[in-house]
Amino acid sequence: MTFRLGIISDTHGLLRPEAERRLAGVNHIIHGGDIGSPEIISALQQIAPVTAIRGNVDTAGWAATYADTALVRLAGRTFYVLHDLKALQVSPAALGIDMVVSGHSHVPKLKTVDGVLYLNPGSAGHRRFKLPVTLATVDITPDGLQPAIHDLS
């Protein structure tokens, strides 16, 4: 059986209808920070359960309920979430983490290092620097993690 994870970041207060459509049917959503407003999380929770962390622009009072990092176990896999990958202070491989989710750069990226998948879904909010508007999904199967970046523009 496949467990589908939706990964979104850097919404900056904008949840595009295209993002909601792409996330429809996922089993869980991870938000990698720079949420922008609490309404974003409320809307995402209408789609699936949400794990979210705050990013550097999430400074208003509502954001205090979100941690800077999260460690979550889903479908037998372990995910570590932080906003800026440069702030990573743990060794994911040593801790048995399967995937590190980050945001901040607005640049979508998939990379595997020491058996750990590093995924930045890019920005699903306002377009910045002519970068694409993106989010990611990850299918968790008995064979492993199958990530995909989706261009919403």
What string of pLDDT tens digits covers the 153 residues of the chain?
Answer: 899 999 999 999 999 999 999 999 999 999 999 999 999 999 999 999 999 999 999 999 999 999 999 999 999 999 999 999 999 999 999 999 999 999 999 999 999 999 999 999 999 998 877 889 999 999 999 999 999 999 998
What is the model's pLDDT at position 128?
77
Sketch out the chain's domains with CATH numbers: 3-151 (3.60.21.10)
CA distances from 89 to 18, 79, 137 (A): 34, 15, 25
Torsion of CA 49, 50, 51, 53, to 10 degrees: -160
Residue 86 CB-density burial (10 A; 0-12 exposed, 13-18 middle, 19+ buried): exposed
pLDDT of residue 100: 98
Using only C-alpha atoms, the chain has a radius of gyration, in whole angstroms, of: 14
| Report field, pTM of the whole predicted structure over 0.75 | yes
